[in-house]
Structures are given as structure tokens and as C-alpha cells.
Structure 1
Amino acid sequence: MSKVKLSKSKYCKCVQCEKILWLEKYKPECAAVKKNESIVGNGRKVGELAKGLFGDYHDIPYNEDLTVMIEKTSKLMQDKPNIITEASFSYEDNFCSVDILKNDSDGVEIYEVKSATEIKPYYLDDVAYQYFVLSNLGITVKKVSILYLNNDTYIRGKELDINQLFNVEDVTFEALEKQDEVRDNIDIINNIMKTRDGDNEPLTGICVNCLDKDNPCVFWDYCTRDLPKPNVFDISLMKMDKKLEKYYEGVISFEDLENDDDITTPRFVEQIDFELHDREPKIDVSAINEILDSLKYPLYFIDYETCQYAVPEFEGTKAYQQIPFQYSLHIIQEEGAPLKHKEFLAEVGDENMIRHFAESMINDMPKNGSVIIYNSSFEPARNREIAEMYPDLKDEMERINANIVDFMVPFRSRKYYTKEMEGSYSIKKVLPALFPDDDELDYTKLPGVHKGDEAANAFLTLNEKTPEEQKEIREGLLRYCELDTYATVKIWEKFKEVTN
């Protein structure tokens, strides 16, 4: 049987989990694939920009017939010195395309481009695999580097400076150190795929790689399907290494955890206790009253939606800065007054989007009332960024921040807790726990947009849609954000109800 045809992406998946190729071949329907167009778009844009970092270059277009790419690369390799992007090579059915290849008379330099702001461990597996392929073809690899985005010191001016946008880190030593590991991994992958058919699943167990937040495994639900529900992996806010420690010890179900003397953290104990014994809601009335007593009319219930551009689009911003593009605002001017709603949704392509967002919000909240949000770490931070970008708006942004009241506080501190919250204080868990039968507050029934990452993705990809699609998506964005602030209004009403 021939060897498995490996690309660098497949190789890196197999480093994460030895049986992932087997799952992709025999159980593809079990993958929880979440397509995010904006992430793909960000990666593509970063990759295209990086190609110009070293001047003129020759690009190898993608072709389903990989030999076409390999042959074109081979011809260009003979014309030294030059820069080749997507340079393609194959050694013993191990294929890779190098993002940027600096092809000198005395050897080559490999540059791997990442649309991230730091070097993640599995990036080193990626470049080590490329080094393995090229060096085994007899090519002298002088240097291996990773290009990644600089969101630390680079703030965009009027024009984008790609030389400042990218950090370059030499990882030649790390790539060399991993060469034996690469060979061993390839042998393991080939052995698994050759010796196991569709009825003979590899016995690889759950490990730390399954839980990598930067590189989540799409087969997690499949591989944990036989675990009791709920289980140790459902304990909210417990560190992953602790969850794995318990799992390896065989302490997996909530019953196991309840009888484990090592589980002493009050919030973990409480989540387990409420789940197993169906406890009544815990409500600290004095803590809720403290929140209510702090409120001053008019009440402004507000929520922002933000998106992140890998390549900063606006003057004064960084890579992946949270860019506010939308808000929803519910207002109660005085006690007993009717609920009013205002909103803002930026136009795609508006170069002054952030300023227009801020000016609209200032206009909609002219008085010093309580500005009610859910999660004080988010909106105030955006306001501070706006104040830094636009000094003439600083006083107004500081005024708004000075009036912030965070409704998350009693849920985060477990002053208000129910079994249905499942240990979480996310509004997506809190809301259905407080209002289990209210379809009006059900995010799953919204048209098109149901959560924050979907909202960001929808906005970032708007200009790729038809006018009819844009209209529909914008309506979905408005309804989603409106529910976020209506939810805080309902929580306010619930606070009043439970304290009466």
C-alpha cells in the first residue's frame, strides 16, 4: 500500500491527534465544522500582503493537480536569486507549499505567514514539516522564520506600513530540533492509516491537545459521546489541566466529583450540588438591592457589537483591535416611563465608523443616568480606546464610563444562581435560566444572527453579499443586538421581582 499523501495542514492535525485523518476519512459526518468566512478572509488578506514584504515575487497559483505547482516551482528555483510565494514541494508523498521562499544562490529561507499576533506551539510543527520536506529533497535550508502580526507597537497611520505590521521571528533552531519527531510522526500516521480500516478505529484517548482553545478539535463531541452527562468537562471555569487530571483518575461524572475530596473550590462544589440535588434558586436579596439602589434615571441599557480586522483598516487602530460597529440602546427616562429603543449600525466602508458610532451614542445618551451593561470589562474598554483616538470626545466617553453599572456582578459572584445556569454567568446561560419559557428572549429563534461571533462575521463579510442579502443580514444584526439590551431590561425587571 502506498504512503498517505500528507499536506502540512494534515500533518499538523495529526500532531494534534494521531487518529484525525482516520476520523476525516471514515467519520467525516461527526466533525463539528464551523465555517467562519471572516477568519478565512483575514488569513487570505494577511497572506497576500505578506507576499510583498521582500519586493517582487513569483506566485505559484493553486492547482488541484499538485504536480503542476511542483513543476512550476522547480523551474523558478533554477532562476536564482528570486522570491517565490506558495513554492510547492513533495518528498515521499509529503507535500507542502511554502508561503514565502527566499531563493538565494547558496540556499533558501522559509517564511511561514500567520494571521495571529503571537507564535503558537503548533506553528513550529508546521515549519518543521516544511524543513523536513525541503531538506530531504537536497535543498539547503539556511533559515526558517515565522511572520506574524504586530499588534503591540504598530498603530496604523493614514497609510498601512506592512514592514511595521509584521513581526519576523527566526525559528530555525526549533525546526531543526523537531526533525526526528517529524519523521516519527509521519511513520505513525502512515501506520495508522495502513493498518486500520473503517471498522477499526484507533484507540487514541482524550488528551490536552483535544482541548486546545487556539486549535479546537472538530471531533470533540464525537470522542466524548460516551461520557456521562454532565461530566468533569462541563465544570465551568475549572482549568483544563485539572479537568484532565480528574478524567485520567476516573473521576468523570458529577457523582464521582461530589465524592472527591480534592474538589473543594466553592463554585465547583455548588455547581455539582445544584445539578445533582436540584436545589432551589439561590438569591441574595441584599446584593440585588444594592444594584437596584445604585441606579439613577434615566436608565440606559446598552450593548456593543464589535469586529476585528487582522489588518487594521482605520487610522489609529491596531491589528485585531475590537472595532465597535453597532449598538442597541433601551431607555427608560424616569420611573414608570415607557421603554424606548434606539440603535446604530455602521455602514460598511465608512472610514469614520468608530467616530460616527461614538457621536451617535453620545447624542442618544445626553444625560447623566445609569449606563447598564452586562460585563464591565468590555464596553468601558472600547470607550477608553475611543477617547484615546478622539481627544475631543474624551470627556463624553469618560462621563459614560463613570455611570456604568454591571448587571453581571451578582451572577458572577454567585449571589444569584440557579441549576440551569450550569456554573456560568454568561448572559446566554443566565437569560434562559431566568426566563425558560419566553420565546421572545430565545436567541435561537432570531433571524440569521444568534451570537457575538456570528454578528462580527456577518458584518465583516457584508460587502461580499448582494444588496438583498445585505439588507437581510443588517436586519438580523439589528434584531440580535436589540435582544441583548432587551435582555438586560428583563433582568432588571427580574431583580425588582425577586426583591419585592
Structure 2
Amino acid sequence: RARVKLRRLHLMHIDASYVRRGAVDPAGLFHRADVTDEARALQAEVPAQIADMRGVIAGDCPDTPFGPHCKSPHPCDLWPMCSAHLPEHPVLELYRARKEAVFALIDRGVLALTDAPADALNGKQLIQQRTVASGRAHVEPGPLRAWLEGLAYPLHCLDFETVAAAVPLYDGTGPYQQVPFQFSLHVVESEGAAPRHLAYLAETAEDPRPGLIEALRGIGPTGTILAFNTVFERGVLRELAAGFPGHAAFLDGLDDRFSDLLTPFRNFWYHHPQQRGSCSLKHVLPALTGRGYAGMAIADGNQAMREFQRAVFGDVDAAEKRRVLEGLREYCEQDTQALLEVLGVLSALAPR
């Protein structure tokens, strides 16, 4: 209808196997797939689909019930409006509950987490329900103390920030590869000692990994390395070892020293109603300490990634770059400071 004659239709997408060597090679970065036949097969359906869309736009707002479609494949922009009538702790907060099961409860008129029938909940969800009903945290001092006693000093609290660009930023990296550009490390030499802080942040467009690896040698040869959800930190170290085999012995040697601060929360040795069904650090920290990330210039890892790319690779003036880099330092340090604070609360709840 636009009077544009199309001979062939191709879909371009990123080739995940591409590795940057020097300047980006567009022919290597993208994979081109001919979808002409598939598009032609669908062409006859387009007029009817357009008519349906226009009908929806012209009609009244549909009275659509809650359902998995509210969250998948993407969160709906109207969710805040549609969910305004829900109680403070809705069944949607149930820990690791299948969306279909939760929305089935809502369809039955069960909105509050405390009203969910016990036979529909597993053991952890029953603990969660009791904490919400009582307003008090659930604590299991025995396993909590056993886990705490497994930590060895000096204690190293570690957090990485990474950048994962579709178009690789550095030689030797591929699309969406997690490349660390920053870390924060709090070291506590002995129980009760004041922590000292070490950090690294790349400030130029050069590959940050060599400098970051050297700075990581601030981690001593003994003691526990504590992180929250160690899968991420350990994965970063493994990729560094693969990319820089000359440092592999050092980096691989850190792996078996990790302990995961997520463990007490995932096992529900501690659970607070204000975690709202989440065991992430962003929920655990305010639940335990009343302090969180609200009001910080950079408040989450995705924002840190975007701001790093903007400040280092974008067209920003020197003052703005300094502001962003300072925000990144503050955010990453907050993450490892949070590990210490959470650990302190858990230690007080399960004394020797």
C-alpha cells in the first residue's frame, strides 16, 4: 500500500559467537536471516489485525481481569492503577510462587497473603504467611549460628559492577558479555575489627579488566570472601581467568573461598515480612536495617551499567562525568557496606 516494492525481507540479529578484534566488524557482528517466505505467509492476516486494533482503540477500556499477562512477557504500564485496591501484602508477594497459581487464588477472591489457604502453600510460604500475620521476623538461631561459624577471618566482602553491551566495547569480548568495570571490597581482619575499604573503578574507555585484576590482589591469601548471590561474582572471576590465563591461578584460587550471604535468607533461617517475598539484597537490607538505596544517584545495577557507558563512552562534559563516577563509587561501596550491616544483624540474632 505504501507503493514500496520489496524484493526480499531479512531479519538482522546479533551473532552471539562474535568476538571483537580491533574495530567492530558489522558483517561478523550481525547474522542475517531471510524471512521473505514467512512474511508473505502472514501478509494476508495483516488487514484483519489492523481492523481489530482500531476497534480496540475506538472502544471502551476493557475490563481485563488479573492474570499472568500482567507481568509477562513484560510488566504492564497500567499495573499501578489496576493493583491499587490490593492489600499491603497481597498474595502476589508469595515467595517463588508460580504466577498461574497466584492468579488462580486472585480469581477465587483471595487477595491478601494472610488469607491464602494453608494447603496451597509450601513450607517457606507458610513461614512467610506467619511473619506477615504477626508483623515479626522468623529466626532459626541454630542453623544461622552454624553458618556464621563457617566464616573465616579476614573477611572480604566483595561486589562487582559489570557492563554488557550488545556491541562489544573491548577487544576479546563478545555481545552481552559481562565485563567488570568496578568492584568494592570491605576487609575485616578479625571479629570486631573496623573494616577497611578497597575499590576499583575504570574511568577511561580502555579495557578495565587488567587494572581490575591487579586491584583484586588486595584480597589476601586467606579468609572467606563474602558476596550476596555468589553465582554472579564467581562467574565474573571465571571469565576473567579465561580471558587472562596469566592470572588464572590467582583468580581460580579465590573460587572455593566464597560464602553466600543469600544462604540464610534463601533457607528462611531469617525472614522478615518487609522482604515482601524477595531474598534480594535490595529487599533484605531495608527489612533488617531500615536503610536502603532510595535517594541515591545510582540505585541499581542496571542503572550503574547505563551510567558507566554514558559517562565513559558518551558525549558528556567533565563535570557530568565526575558526578556519574562519584555516584558509581557510592553505589558499589553501599553494596559491600550492606553486606557488613546485614551480617552484623544476623550475628546479633544468633549469638554464640
User: Scaled by the length of structure 2, what TM-score is found?
Assistant: 0.90
Tell me, in whole angstroms, the C-alpha distance in 2 between the residues paired with 1:147 and 1:246.
42
Structure 2 CA distance for partners of 1:188 and 1:226, relative to 1, 3 Å: farther
Tell me, in whole angstroms, the C-alpha distance in 2 between the residues paired with 1:167 and 1:246.
44
Tell me, in whole angstroms, the C-alpha distance in 1 between the residues paired with 2:193 and 2:146.
22
Higher mean Cα deviation, 229-238 or 384-393?
A: 229-238
Match of 1:145 in 2: 10
Match of 2:276 in 1: 422
Match of 1:156 in 2: 20
Tell me, in whole angstroms, the C-alpha distance in 1 between the residues paired with 2:112 and 2:33.
44
Match of 2:249 in 1: 395
Deviations 1:213-272, CA, capped at 9 Å, x for gaps: 4x332222123223344323332322333333333444433254236x4x2322333323
Match of 2:184 in 1: 328
AA partner of residue 395 (structure 1): A
AA partner of residue 131 (structure 2): F
Match of 2:320 in 1: 469
Q: What's the offset of the Cα at 1:469?
A: 1.2
Which one of the candidate residues 292, 307, 318 is aligned to 1:442?
Answer: 292
Tell me, in whole angstroms, the C-alpha distance in 2 between the residues paired with 1:232 and 1:170.
46
Instruction: Say if 2:297 is the partner of 1:457.
Output: no
- The secondary structure found in structure 1 opposite 2:9 is strand
Structure 1 unmatched ranges of 5 or more: 1-135
- The secondary structure found in structure 2 opposite 1:306 is strand
Q: What's the offset of the Cα at 1:384?
A: 0.2
Task: Assess if the C-alpha contact under 8 Å between 1:258 and 1:269 holds in 2.
Answer: no
Q: What's the offset of the Cα at 1:181?
A: 4.4
Match of 1:225 in 2: 84
- The secondary structure found in structure 1 opposite 2:225 is strand
Structure 2 unmatched ranges of 5 or more: none
Instruction: Say if 2:30 is the partner of 1:166.
Output: yes
Aligned residues: 349
Which one of the candidate residues 3, 28, 47 is aligned to 1:183?
Answer: 47
Tell me, in whole angstroms, the C-alpha distance in 1 between the residues paired with 2:350 and 2:127.
23
1:11-26 equivalent positions in 2, closer than 5 A:
none
Q: What's the offset of the Cα at 1:423?
A: 1.6
Structure 2 CA distance for partners of 1:293 and 1:223, relative to 1, 3 Å: same
**Structure of greater relative contact order (alpha carbons < 8 Å, 6+ residues apart):** 2
Tell me, in whole angstroms, the C-alpha distance in 2 between the residues paired with 1:243 and 1:190.
33
Instruction: Say if 2:237 is the partner of 1:373.
Output: no
- The secondary structure found in structure 2 opposite 1:461 is helix
Tell me, in whole angstroms, the C-alpha distance in 1 between the residues paired with 2:86 and 2:272.
24
Higher mean Cα deviation, 172-181 or 156-165?
A: 172-181
AA partner of residue 378 (structure 1): F
Tell me, in whole angstroms, the C-alpha distance in 2 between the residues paired with 1:178 and 1:278.
56
AA partner of residue 301 (structure 2): G
Q: What's the offset of the Cα at 1:141?
A: 4.5
Match of 2:97 in 1: 238
Task: Assess if the C-alpha contact under 8 Å between 2:12 and 2:33 holds in 1.
Answer: yes
1:105-120 equivalent positions in 2, closer than 5 A:
none
Q: What's the offset of the Cα at 1:391?
A: 0.2
Deviations 1:406-462, CA, capped at 9 Å, x for gaps: 1110101111112121221101111111112xxxx331143x111211211111111
Deviations 1:105-153, CA, capped at 9 Å, x for gaps: xxxxxxxxxxxxxxxxxxxxxxxxxxxxxxx4465645433211122x2
Match of 1:491 in 2: 342
- The secondary structure found in structure 1 opposite 2:63 is coil
- The secondary structure found in structure 1 opposite 2:294 is helix
Task: Assess if the C-alpha contact under 8 Å between 2:131 and 2:138 holds in 1.
Answer: no
- The secondary structure found in structure 2 opposite 1:146 is strand
Instruction: Say if 2:217 is the partner of 1:358.
Output: no
- The secondary structure found in structure 1 opposite 2:204 is coil
Instruction: Say if 2:143 is the partner of 1:291.
Output: no
Which one of the candidate residues 120, 123, 126 is aligned to 1:266?
Answer: 123
Q: What's the offset of the Cα at 1:468?
A: 0.9
- The secondary structure found in structure 2 opposite 1:230 is coil
* Percent of residue pairs identical: 27
Match of 1:70 in 2: none
Task: Assess if the C-alpha contact under 8 Å between 1:258 and 1:272 holds in 2.
Answer: no
